[in-house]
């Protein structure tokens, strides 16, 4: 998993690419979220256009990040999710937890509603 930051005040876009499989991804994602919160970014959009696969451990990583952001009184939204990954969200019923948007612009606009 790779993460690229794209600051868009007052929120942060994280372009995530590669498979999210757990292991070292967990510490990497956790550190990224913690650093963002410490630097005042509480609203985060995960752009998943480069994510082809998420396994169950990867889902746990996302849930952990979601709770960290929620505890900081922020919001985490996900956009550009490929059909294969989206089906995993539906099977695990995580579409009820994660706010998923088709496009980055829709995710950004949703913060203003």
- Give the tens place of pLDDT for each residue, 4-50: 999 998 899 999 999 999 888 999 999 999 999 999 999 999 999 99
Tens digits of residue pLDDT in 52-78: 999 999 999 999 999 999 999 999 999
Alpha helix segments (H runs only) across the chain = 24-38, 56-71, 83-91, 104-110
- Tell me the residue ranges of DSSP E strands in 1-113: 2-8, 11-17, 43-50, 75-79, 99-101
- The full set of domain ranges for the chain reads 2-108
CATH, range 2-108: 3.30.750.24
């Amino acid at each position: 998993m790779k993460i690229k930051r794209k600051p868009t005040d007052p929120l942060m876009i994280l372009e995530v690419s590669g498979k999210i499989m757990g292991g070292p991804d967990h510490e990497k994602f956790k550190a990224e979220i913690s650093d963002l919160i410490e630097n005042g970014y509480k609203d985060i959009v995960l752009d998943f256009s480069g994510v082809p696969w998420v396994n169950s451990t990867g889902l746990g990583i996302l849930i952990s990040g979601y709770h960290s952001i929620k505890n900081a009184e922020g919001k985490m939204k996900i956009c550009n999710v490929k059909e294969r990954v989206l089906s995993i969200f539906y099977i695990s019923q995580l579409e009820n937890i994660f706010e998923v948007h088709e496009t980055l612009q829709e995710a950004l606009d949703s913060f203003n509603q």
